[in-house]
Structure 1
């Protein structure tokens, strides 16, 4: 499974059937007064604030995949409905009350799906343009429902299924569980059986627990010691992306999304072996290479960046849908005198130190240690950000070649650059979203080329040593 822009999806023309959750006419009132998580509250206020400021931000996450054989639309509709009913975060309707973000949770049995036939699309370009427009119009942080689904149906051929979500109810890892869960439920329903799915756990409970733990802490709390040291070394909480992207302070820009393959499967395995030989893991060698690439392109001798980590394992909600991400600071040397082994070990030590201080939510850190920037609806300046995921480790990965799953991330505007790195059975891939300025386009092209070349050189060395 890769992550790339929706418009790059290889698909065929077909007829579109679309579903959206809605409240049943005979529904009883849901559970009200629940508090949103810190991520959700900040996301909502940023979107709302950007609109009030006349610089509207918007975003969505989507997955596409195929279901095998002649599609059973009734079974697929039942699978989508089950997804919304099982995961209460998809039934949350948000409202700002008394300065905080509250959510009402609609009851599972109060949800049904509206079904609309959207017509036939005669070309892939027309189809993908329609889907992109639908996601932009239909996914709105400030309005429920916060997800939609559909299928592109072709006579005698597999259907392409799509599901799109606002970030306030999902994250990238959630998308992998969505694919597996919908596929499993679809297969069961198409056989006339009930799906056998384990208890998923709830994000609303997670948000409540998070607020109970961290709402009252102060800037001098001992759990913020690692962040305070990082901020002192960095000159602030936010590590600046370097080299310069040519963005003006206080401005956001349209986003350019670029994706590609860095290594094939054999090269990725060789690079991983080289990392393990130095006592590290693949993502550590990758992050070390990113750090040296940035230095070569005009960056600094010490890499400082933000790194998202999943909170699912720590909270026992492994297969739940929600924004289970904390963002943590990492720093390590990337000076020219270090060899690959020294770089990897530096990342390993920095990562282990980072994970010892993974408790406090990033949004609370932002509010407590950088209050002067907290009311902003975007980063104060381009921020260094690195994300990695190995999709082979998720449920259903053995079926990915047949399902052809893909993750698509879209954002309307940005003042920086974010890069996601994804490993699958075919190798190692990247997707970068960044502010589309002339300088940024040139800088990112150089970074991608240097990174690809450096990784392939390391992989080639690993292949030679393995032989």
Structure 2
């Protein structure tokens, strides 16, 4: 599934319907369970006006369902899905300024209804603007609901054969209740529940745990972590060597703008499925996994373009430690620092092996919330350069994503950092990125990713890497 922004998703003319979750005030109950570390940190970070109340932090998805839309069956399916995932029926918010506490309220299953608001038929640009406004308005972390649904029925959707074109489902949620892996589960679960409501065919969804319970247990466990814990030692070394900061992109990315400016984005297919399998086999011959091989190529690109002898970044890792969490909605993400030694070799085998060793060395760092580690170290950990790898080939319905026009969506971002997502799907490998929208960052990030892509392809034949071509990368004379 490609990760992209809504601006890059194909939208047809048609009728947009908003599906808004609602709950009566009397149905809410005080809930003593705390927010997870990352959720609370997110609430505090986005509480200022500078961040727009967190409206630049949503994730979502879009996918097609064979039509025509049965509105009543769809409404029931959404309500059942909300009942299935407790974070959709719960809300944590910052309390009064004096206490600074996070206050949670939760409503039992069966108490959240979904109200449709159907608009008149409109052209694609109007629908896109309406969707962007809807997602921004309903996904703020400080309000409930912090998620929303919409459907789009195409104008003139009946074909000459009498069949109906599919309708499109859009879903967006604040990052506090959903992560990248959660996003790719949505299409299957909502489609299965909708099909059950229409046909009576059982959805057969596996039981899931509540991320709220996970966050509470995580806090209990993290309270026992001290400053001699392996995760703290790993991050202490990283921050010490980085002058108190997390790793930055190896080349300049221009000056931080005086005002918030939307980041530039990129999404490319780097491998088809056969090429991805070939690269994976090449990694195995080097006794490394796919991500370790990708790190080798990223590191080699860094040393060629920036002259650095270390490739440093931060990599997310999921924290879904048991089967009960496999299908849960939530922010199940830890962070680990990566420090890949590039000295003494330019060969793929050695660098991939070093990448695998580095992933093993830093595994413990992702098991403790980085917010908790920052508390123990007395300094917040603020990621500046992130490389994410996710293999979603075996997610339910993954093979049908292309025919369903399924995409993972993310909000616009206004930060001064670089994020790269490497996603392996049944179609191959898609790489997306976001970075500051200025000439320096544009030149350097694109050159870096282009060379990494070349190196990944060059690694497959098991021969030596070719000498890099001349690039337009801006030399590392400043940030």
Q: Deviations 1:235-267 (Å, cap 9, x if unpaired)?
A: 435112221111339975422221111122222
- Higher strand residue share: 1
Question: Structure 1 CA distance, aligned partners of 2:446 and 2:81?
Answer: 39
Question: Structure 1 CA distance, aligned partners of 2:324 and 2:308?
Answer: 38
Distance 1:87 1:57, change over 3 A: closer
Q: Which of 59, 76, 79 is residue 77 of structure 2 equivalent to?
A: 79
Question: Structure 2 CA distance, aligned partners of 1:173 and 1:421?
Answer: 13
1:348 shift after superposition: 0.5
Question: Structure 1 CA distance, aligned partners of 2:214 and 2:258?
Answer: 34
Q: Which of 262, 270, 284 is residue 262 of structure 1 equivalent to?
A: 270
1:222 shift after superposition: 5.3
8 A Cα contact 1:263 1:455, kept in partner: no
Question: Structure 1 CA distance, aligned partners of 2:60 and 2:344?
Answer: 40
8 A Cα contact 1:251 1:415, kept in partner: no
- For 1:118-133, list aligned pairs within 5 A: 118-123=119-124, 125-133=125-133
Aligned length: 452
Distance 1:55 1:115, change over 3 A: closer
- For 1:366-385, list aligned pairs within 5 A: 366-371=374-379, 373=380, 379=382, 383-385=384-386
Q: Which of 209, 213, 220 is residue 212 of structure 1 equivalent to?
A: 220
8 A Cα contact 1:253 1:415, kept in partner: no
Question: Structure 1 CA distance, aligned partners of 2:6 and 2:93?
Answer: 30
Per the alignment, residue 29 of structure 1 pairs with 28
Question: Structure 1 CA distance, aligned partners of 2:309 and 2:319?
Answer: 31
Question: Structure 2 CA distance, aligned partners of 1:233 and 1:80?
Answer: 49
Q: Which of 49, 56, 77 is residue 58 of structure 1 equivalent to?
A: 56
Q: CA RMSD in A?
A: 2.4
8 A Cα contact 2:286 2:353, kept in partner: yes
8 A Cα contact 1:297 1:447, kept in partner: yes
Question: Structure 2 CA distance, aligned partners of 1:391 and 1:357?
Answer: 23
Stretch moving more, 293-302 or 169-178 = 293-302
Q: Deviations 1:95-149 (Å, cap 9, x if unpaired)?
A: 22322322211222211011100222223x4332332222122221211101101
Per the alignment, residue 345 of structure 1 pairs with 353
Stretch moving more, 35-44 or 98-107 = 98-107
8 A Cα contact 1:263 1:429, kept in partner: yes
SS of 1:348 mapped into structure 2:
helix
Question: Structure 1 CA distance, aligned partners of 2:51 and 2:405?
Answer: 40
1:32 shift after superposition: 2.2
1:275 aligns with 2:276: no
Question: Structure 2 CA distance, aligned partners of 1:427 and 1:222?
Answer: 35
1:18 aligns with 2:37: no
SS of 2:244 mapped into structure 1:
coil
Per the alignment, residue 153 of structure 1 pairs with 153
1:204 shift after superposition: 0.7
Unaligned runs of 5+ in 2: 158-163, 464-479
Question: Structure 2 CA distance, aligned partners of 1:404 and 1:224?
Answer: 43
Q: Deviations 1:130-187 (Å, cap 9, x if unpaired)?
A: 3222212222121110110111113320011111000011101001122211111111
Question: Structure 2 CA distance, aligned partners of 1:142 and 1:66?
Answer: 30
Q: Deviations 1:54-98 (Å, cap 9, x if unpaired)?
A: 897622111001112433222222222111111111122222232
Per the alignment, residue 103 of structure 1 pairs with 104
Per the alignment, residue 41 of structure 2 pairs with 42
Distance 1:400 1:390, change over 3 A: same
8 A Cα contact 2:54 2:141, kept in partner: no
Q: Which of 298, 309, 312 is residue 306 of structure 2 equivalent to?
A: 298
8 A Cα contact 2:230 2:365, kept in partner: no
Unaligned runs of 5+ in 1: 463-467
Distance 1:222 1:266, change over 3 A: closer
Distance 1:209 1:56, change over 3 A: closer
